[in-house]
Amino acid sequence: MRRISHAVMCAGVAAMCSVSLNAQAADMPVIYAPSRPAGAVTEFVSGWYLRGDIGYRTNTSIGSVTSTFPLPTNSDFSDVATFGGGGGYKAGWFRADVTIDYAGKAGYSGDGPYVGAFSGKVESWTALANIYLDLGTWNGLTPYVGIGAGAVTFRAYDFAAPLGILTLDYQSKTEFAWAYMAGIAWCFAPRWLVDFSYRRMNLGEVTFNPALLNELKLQDLTANEFRIGLRYNFD
């Protein structure tokens, strides 16, 4: 009898312990190991972009004029449209690109013995390496400032002077060029931005009829450009 009672007591204690452990296990939160979808690929952000621009070059200023005959007065260039494009890279607030722009034939005129005694036409290609500082983004709008340096190639045509037309078909000359700029870009769609900017160009000099009797040099040229462009990000 004593053995039976002892066995019954042990069985009861074991049952109570089992119930207690099961209750504690039921109260514990279930922890699941994080699962990864098969074949998941991490997105690669390249930072590369392409750009295209159209613009208007105005207020071309001539710093000084040299000539082998009496100097023209009131020298002036007409305004002209510009077209260009390029590609670059953006990393955070820093951006850099290379651009090539074409400016159509701008008319040159200068007074001498009579009004319009000097005349000619000039077109140019400008290649610049540029760096920019993006100043933050608000509601898709990103203001920026930048600076660029490179070269400009002028082609001078149809020069006429009081001593007669002694022009060659054209004269080509490459000069150091640099610019500073400011603008604002608007992200209007994924990967697409429209860019409004101002650029101050420093363009060196243009020479009409080098080494001929009526050579004319227009030096320290500067101009204002107002541009609108489109950028496409590859990200």
Tell me, what's the pLDDT at 126? Answer: 98
Three-state SS sequence of the chain = CHHHHHHHHHHHHHHHHHHHHHHHHHHCCCCCCCCCCCCCCCCCCCCEEEEEEEEEEEEEECCEEEECCCCCEEEEECCEEEEEEEEEEEECCEEEEEEEEEEEEEEEEEECCCCCCEEEEEEEEEEEEEEEEECCCECCEEEEEEEEEEEEEEEEEEEECCCCCCCCCEEEEEEEEEEEEEEEEEEEECCEEEEEEEEEEECCCEEECCCCCCCEEEECCEEEEEEEEEEEECC
Tell me, what's the pLDDT at 66? Answer: 87
pLDDT band, residue 211 (cuts 50/70/90): low
pTM of the predicted model as reported, rounded to 2 decimal places: 0.77
Query: 32 pLDDT exceeds 50?
Result: no
Which option is the CATH number for 48-233: 3.40.50.170, 3.40.50.720, 2.40.160.20, 3.30.70.270?
Answer: 2.40.160.20
Q: What is the pLDDT of residues 129-180, one digit of tens each?
A: 999 999 999 999 999 999 999 999 999 988 888 765 555 667 888 999 999 9
Q: What is the pLDDT of residues 53-70, one digit of tens each?
A: 999 999 999 999 988 777
